[in-house]
Protein backbone atom coordinates (compact mmCIF):
# COMPACT_ATOMS: atom_id res chain seq x y z
CA UNK A 1 0.00 0.00 0.00
CA UNK A 2 1.32 3.44 -0.93
CA UNK A 3 1.86 5.72 2.08
CA UNK A 4 -0.42 8.78 2.14
CA UNK A 5 1.17 12.04 0.99
CA UNK A 6 -0.65 13.98 3.71
CA UNK A 7 0.13 13.73 7.42
CA UNK A 8 -2.17 15.49 9.87
CA UNK A 9 -0.95 16.21 13.41
CA UNK A 10 -3.51 16.06 16.22
CA UNK A 11 -2.34 17.58 19.51
CA UNK A 12 -3.98 15.99 22.54
CA UNK A 13 -4.21 16.18 26.28
CA UNK A 14 -7.11 14.43 28.00
CA UNK A 15 -9.11 14.51 24.76
CA UNK A 16 -10.80 11.12 25.12
CA UNK A 17 -14.30 12.60 24.89
CA UNK A 18 -13.71 14.24 21.50
CA UNK A 19 -10.77 12.41 19.90
CA UNK A 20 -12.75 9.52 18.31
CA UNK A 21 -14.90 11.96 16.29
CA UNK A 22 -11.79 13.94 15.28
CA UNK A 23 -10.02 10.83 14.00
CA UNK A 24 -13.16 9.58 12.29
CA UNK A 25 -13.43 12.83 10.31
CA UNK A 26 -9.86 12.31 9.10
CA UNK A 27 -10.48 8.66 8.15
CA UNK A 28 -13.57 9.72 6.17
CA UNK A 29 -11.64 12.01 3.82
CA UNK A 30 -11.66 11.42 0.05
CA UNK A 31 -7.85 11.63 0.19
CA UNK A 32 -5.96 9.14 2.41
CA UNK A 33 -4.44 10.80 5.47
CA UNK A 34 -1.72 9.62 7.85
CA UNK A 35 -2.76 10.55 11.39
CA UNK A 36 -0.04 11.55 13.87
CA UNK A 37 -1.21 12.14 17.46
CA UNK A 38 1.10 14.18 19.70
CA UNK A 39 0.04 13.69 23.32
CA UNK A 40 1.31 15.78 26.21
CA UNK A 41 0.62 13.77 29.33
CA UNK A 42 -2.97 12.61 29.09
CA UNK A 43 -4.31 10.76 32.14
CA UNK A 44 -7.58 9.60 30.57
CA UNK A 45 -8.12 7.16 27.68
CA UNK A 46 -6.60 9.46 25.04
CA UNK A 47 -3.39 7.49 24.61
CA UNK A 48 -5.28 4.20 24.30
CA UNK A 49 -7.56 5.67 21.64
CA UNK A 50 -4.58 7.06 19.74
CA UNK A 51 -2.76 3.70 19.84
CA UNK A 52 -5.79 1.99 18.36
CA UNK A 53 -6.91 4.55 15.79
CA UNK A 54 -3.93 6.74 14.82
CA UNK A 55 -1.08 5.75 12.52
CA UNK A 56 1.55 7.18 14.84
CA UNK A 57 1.66 8.28 18.47
CA UNK A 58 4.21 10.74 19.82
CA UNK A 59 4.31 11.40 23.56
CA UNK A 60 5.88 14.53 25.03
CA UNK A 61 6.17 15.54 28.70
CA UNK A 62 3.30 17.77 29.71
CA UNK A 63 5.57 20.21 31.52
CA UNK A 64 7.53 20.96 28.33
CA UNK A 65 4.49 21.31 26.05
CA UNK A 66 4.06 24.26 23.73
CA UNK A 67 1.72 24.48 20.75
CA UNK A 68 4.59 25.16 18.36
CA UNK A 69 6.81 22.52 19.93
CA UNK A 70 4.16 19.83 19.61
CA UNK A 71 3.65 20.67 15.93
CA UNK A 72 7.38 20.64 15.20
CA UNK A 73 7.78 17.31 16.99
CA UNK A 74 4.87 15.82 15.09
CA UNK A 75 6.10 17.23 11.77
CA UNK A 76 9.59 15.82 12.31
CA UNK A 77 8.08 12.38 12.91
CA UNK A 78 5.58 12.58 10.03
CA UNK A 79 6.42 11.55 6.45
CA UNK A 80 5.12 13.11 3.26
CA UNK A 81 5.37 16.42 1.37
CA UNK A 82 2.18 17.84 2.95
CA UNK A 83 1.46 18.18 6.65
CA UNK A 84 -1.25 19.79 8.69
CA UNK A 85 -2.94 20.20 12.02
CA UNK A 86 -6.40 19.45 13.41
CA UNK A 87 -7.61 20.25 16.91
CA UNK A 88 -8.57 17.20 18.93
CA UNK A 89 -11.73 19.07 19.96
CA UNK A 90 -13.19 19.55 16.49
CA UNK A 91 -13.93 17.68 13.26
CA UNK A 92 -13.48 18.32 9.57
CA UNK A 93 -16.95 19.40 8.36
CA UNK A 94 -16.81 17.72 4.94
CA UNK A 95 -15.19 14.60 3.45
CA UNK A 96 -13.41 16.58 0.72
CA UNK A 97 -11.78 19.03 3.17
CA UNK A 98 -8.27 17.71 2.58
CA UNK A 99 -8.87 17.41 -1.17
CA UNK A 100 -9.91 21.08 -1.42
CA UNK A 101 -6.98 22.21 0.72
CA UNK A 102 -4.57 20.19 -1.43
CA UNK A 103 -5.87 21.92 -4.56
CA UNK A 104 -4.75 25.26 -3.12
CA UNK A 105 -1.30 23.92 -2.25
CA UNK A 106 -1.00 22.46 -5.75
CA UNK A 107 -1.85 25.91 -7.13
CA UNK A 108 1.05 27.51 -5.25
CA UNK A 109 -0.12 28.30 -1.71
CA UNK A 110 2.28 27.52 1.14
CA UNK A 111 -0.50 26.99 3.69
CA UNK A 112 -4.29 26.66 3.76
CA UNK A 113 -7.00 26.99 6.38
CA UNK A 114 -10.66 27.92 6.69
CA UNK A 115 -12.26 31.21 7.63
CA UNK A 116 -15.66 32.83 7.34
CA UNK A 117 -14.56 36.49 7.23
CA UNK A 118 -11.82 38.44 5.46
CA UNK A 119 -9.27 40.69 7.13
CA UNK A 120 -11.80 43.49 7.40
CA UNK A 121 -14.41 41.32 9.09
CA UNK A 122 -16.60 41.03 5.98
CA UNK A 123 -18.19 37.65 5.13
CA UNK A 124 -15.87 35.54 2.98
CA UNK A 125 -17.66 34.15 -0.09
CA UNK A 126 -14.69 32.72 -2.01
CA UNK A 127 -11.09 31.62 -1.30
CA UNK A 128 -8.82 34.53 -0.44
CA UNK A 129 -5.07 34.51 -1.23
CA UNK A 130 -3.24 36.59 1.37
CA UNK A 131 0.31 37.76 0.76
CA UNK A 132 2.68 39.57 3.14
CA UNK A 133 1.18 42.97 2.38
CA UNK A 134 -2.35 41.76 3.14
CA UNK A 135 -1.37 40.13 6.43
CA UNK A 136 0.60 43.21 7.46
CA UNK A 137 -2.62 45.23 7.17
CA UNK A 138 -4.66 42.61 9.04
CA UNK A 139 -2.26 41.41 11.73
CA UNK A 140 -4.78 39.58 13.89
CA UNK A 141 -6.62 37.74 11.12
CA UNK A 142 -5.56 34.74 9.11
CA UNK A 143 -3.95 31.38 9.68
CA UNK A 144 -5.24 28.96 12.30
CA UNK A 145 -3.99 25.53 13.29
CA UNK A 146 -7.44 24.50 14.48
CA UNK A 147 -7.54 22.93 11.00
CA UNK A 148 -4.83 23.58 8.43
CA UNK A 149 -2.50 22.14 5.80
CA UNK A 150 0.97 23.33 4.84
CA UNK A 151 3.89 22.30 2.65
CA UNK A 152 6.33 20.20 4.67
CA UNK A 153 9.39 21.87 3.13
CA UNK A 154 8.08 25.29 4.19
CA UNK A 155 7.60 24.12 7.81
CA UNK A 156 11.09 22.60 7.74
CA UNK A 157 12.60 25.91 6.60
CA UNK A 158 10.42 27.91 9.01
CA UNK A 159 9.67 25.86 12.16
CA UNK A 160 6.90 26.97 14.47
CA UNK A 161 8.08 29.19 17.33
CA UNK A 162 8.31 26.89 20.34
CA UNK A 163 8.73 29.67 22.91
CA UNK A 164 5.26 31.15 22.34
CA UNK A 165 2.58 30.19 24.85
CA UNK A 166 -0.10 30.70 22.16
CA UNK A 167 -0.70 32.13 18.65
CA UNK A 168 2.07 30.07 17.08
CA UNK A 169 -0.07 29.71 13.96
CA UNK A 170 -0.47 33.42 13.19
CA UNK A 171 3.17 34.22 13.97
CA UNK A 172 4.32 31.39 11.70
CA UNK A 173 2.15 32.56 8.82
CA UNK A 174 3.66 36.05 8.97
CA UNK A 175 7.15 34.60 8.53
CA UNK A 176 6.33 32.24 5.67
CA UNK A 177 4.47 34.85 3.61
CA UNK A 178 7.24 37.37 4.27
CA UNK A 179 9.52 34.87 2.54
CA UNK A 180 7.37 35.09 -0.59
CA UNK A 181 4.58 32.62 0.13
CA UNK A 182 0.82 32.98 -0.10
CA UNK A 183 -1.73 31.86 2.49
CA UNK A 184 -5.15 30.75 1.23
CA UNK A 185 -8.20 31.09 3.49
CA UNK A 186 -11.21 29.22 2.08
CA UNK A 187 -14.69 29.56 3.63
CA UNK A 188 -15.52 25.99 2.59
CA UNK A 189 -12.84 24.80 5.01
CA UNK A 190 -14.15 26.64 8.08
CA UNK A 191 -14.39 24.47 11.18
CA UNK A 192 -16.17 25.16 14.44
CA UNK A 193 -14.22 27.07 17.07
CA UNK A 194 -16.75 26.44 19.82
CA UNK A 195 -14.27 24.19 21.66
CA UNK A 196 -12.50 27.34 22.81
CA UNK A 197 -15.42 28.10 25.15
CA UNK A 198 -16.44 24.60 26.25
CA UNK A 199 -13.81 24.49 29.03
CA UNK A 200 -15.58 27.34 30.83
CA UNK A 201 -15.39 31.12 30.98
CA UNK A 202 -12.23 31.25 33.10
CA UNK A 203 -10.30 28.95 30.75
CA UNK A 204 -11.52 30.89 27.72
CA UNK A 205 -10.41 34.18 29.30
CA UNK A 206 -6.97 32.81 30.18
CA UNK A 207 -6.52 31.41 26.67
CA UNK A 208 -7.46 34.71 25.05
CA UNK A 209 -5.02 36.61 27.27
CA UNK A 210 -2.23 34.17 26.37
CA UNK A 211 -2.94 34.54 22.64
CA UNK A 212 -2.98 38.32 22.80
CA UNK A 213 0.21 38.51 24.89
CA UNK A 214 1.99 36.01 22.61
CA UNK A 215 1.82 38.44 19.68
CA UNK A 216 3.28 41.42 21.53
CA UNK A 217 6.83 40.82 20.33
CA UNK A 218 5.74 41.69 16.78
CA UNK A 219 3.21 44.40 17.55
CA UNK A 220 3.15 45.87 21.07
CA UNK A 221 -0.29 46.33 22.56
CA UNK A 222 -1.77 49.81 22.39
CA UNK A 223 -3.28 51.22 25.57
CA UNK A 224 -6.85 49.96 25.94
CA UNK A 225 -8.78 52.17 28.39
CA UNK A 226 -12.08 51.15 29.93
CA UNK A 227 -14.05 53.63 27.82
CA UNK A 228 -12.75 52.02 24.61
CA UNK A 229 -13.81 48.59 25.85
CA UNK A 230 -17.33 49.86 26.52
CA UNK A 231 -17.41 51.48 23.06
CA UNK A 232 -16.25 48.26 21.39
CA UNK A 233 -18.99 46.34 23.18
CA UNK A 234 -21.76 48.48 21.69
CA UNK A 235 -20.30 49.25 18.25
CA UNK A 236 -21.45 47.33 15.20
CA UNK A 237 -17.75 47.02 14.28
CA UNK A 238 -15.27 47.09 17.21
CA UNK A 239 -12.08 49.08 16.71
CA UNK A 240 -9.66 46.78 18.51
CA UNK A 241 -8.57 43.86 16.28
CA UNK A 242 -8.72 41.34 19.14
CA UNK A 243 -12.41 41.95 19.79
CA UNK A 244 -14.80 39.61 18.00
CA UNK A 245 -17.10 40.86 15.24
CA UNK A 246 -20.03 38.90 16.65
CA UNK A 247 -23.15 40.85 17.62
CA UNK A 248 -22.85 43.90 19.91
CA UNK A 249 -23.78 43.55 23.61
CA UNK A 250 -23.07 39.79 23.38
CA UNK A 251 -21.24 37.66 25.92
CA UNK A 252 -18.52 36.54 23.50
CA UNK A 253 -17.60 40.12 22.67
CA UNK A 254 -17.61 41.04 26.36
CA UNK A 255 -15.25 38.15 27.11
CA UNK A 256 -12.91 39.30 24.33
CA UNK A 257 -12.92 42.86 25.69
CA UNK A 258 -12.15 41.62 29.20
CA UNK A 259 -9.23 39.53 27.86
CA UNK A 260 -7.92 42.48 25.81
CA UNK A 261 -8.02 44.75 28.85
CA UNK A 262 -6.39 42.15 31.10
CA UNK A 263 -3.61 41.52 28.56
CA UNK A 264 -2.93 45.26 28.43
CA UNK A 265 -2.89 45.46 32.22
CA UNK A 266 -0.35 42.63 32.42
CA UNK A 267 1.81 44.37 29.85
CA UNK A 268 1.71 47.66 31.79
CA UNK A 269 2.72 45.86 34.96
CA UNK A 270 5.64 44.18 33.23
CA UNK A 271 4.36 40.61 33.49
CA UNK A 272 6.24 38.59 30.86
CA UNK A 273 4.71 35.43 29.29
CA UNK A 274 6.94 32.47 30.20
CA UNK A 275 8.49 30.63 27.21
CA UNK A 276 8.31 26.86 26.99
CA UNK A 277 11.12 24.31 27.04
CA UNK A 278 12.21 22.72 23.75
CA UNK A 279 11.45 19.02 23.39
CA UNK A 280 12.77 16.66 20.74
CA UNK A 281 11.55 13.32 19.47
CA UNK A 282 13.56 10.14 19.27
CA UNK A 283 13.01 7.68 16.46
CA UNK A 284 10.68 4.73 16.81
CA UNK A 285 8.34 2.38 14.97
CA UNK A 286 4.89 3.91 14.92
CA UNK A 287 5.11 5.21 18.50
CA UNK A 288 7.61 7.82 19.60
CA UNK A 289 8.39 9.18 23.04
CA UNK A 290 9.82 12.69 22.98
CA UNK A 291 12.12 13.81 25.77
CA UNK A 292 13.12 17.23 27.02
pTM: 0.76
Asked if residues 75 and 58 have their Cβ atoms less than 8 Å apart, the reply is no
DSSP string, 126-166: S-EEE-HHHHHHSTTSS--TTEEEEEHHHHHHSPPPTT-SS
Sheet containing strand 111-114, strands side by side: 128-130, 183-186, 111-114, 147-151, 82-86, 6-12, 34-39, 56-59, 287-291, 280-281
pLDDT of residue 242: 72
Gap between the Cα atoms of 101 and 147, Å rounded = 10
Between the alpha carbon of residue 247 and those of residues 42, 116, 198, 225, 233, the distances in Å are 37, 15, 20, 21, 9
| Binned average pLDDT, 10 residues per bin, the chain of 292 residues | 79 95 97 96 96 96 86 93 96 97 96 92 93 86 93 96 82 90 96 60 66 64 82 83 75 80 73 52 44 36
pLDDT of residue 170: 87
Asked if residues 225 and 154 have their Cβ atoms less than 8 Å apart, the reply is no
Gap between the Cα atoms of 182 and 203, Å rounded = 33
Gap between the Cα atoms of 183 and 232, Å rounded = 29
Q: Of 28, 34, 29, 30, nearest to 10 (Cα)?
A: 34
pLDDT of residue 139: 74
Q: Of 62, 101, 61, 109, nearest to 85 (Cα)?
A: 101
Interior angle at CA 18, CA 6 and CA 205, nearest 5: 100
Amino acid sequence: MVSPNVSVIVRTRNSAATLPATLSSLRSQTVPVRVVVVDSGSTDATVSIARDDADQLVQVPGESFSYGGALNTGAEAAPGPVQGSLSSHTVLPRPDWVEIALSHLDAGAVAVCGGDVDGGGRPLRAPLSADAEYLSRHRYWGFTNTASLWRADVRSAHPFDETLVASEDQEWSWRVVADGGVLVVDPRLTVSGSHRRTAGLKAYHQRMVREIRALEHLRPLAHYPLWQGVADWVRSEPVDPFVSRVRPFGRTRLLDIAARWDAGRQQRHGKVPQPRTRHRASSGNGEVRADV
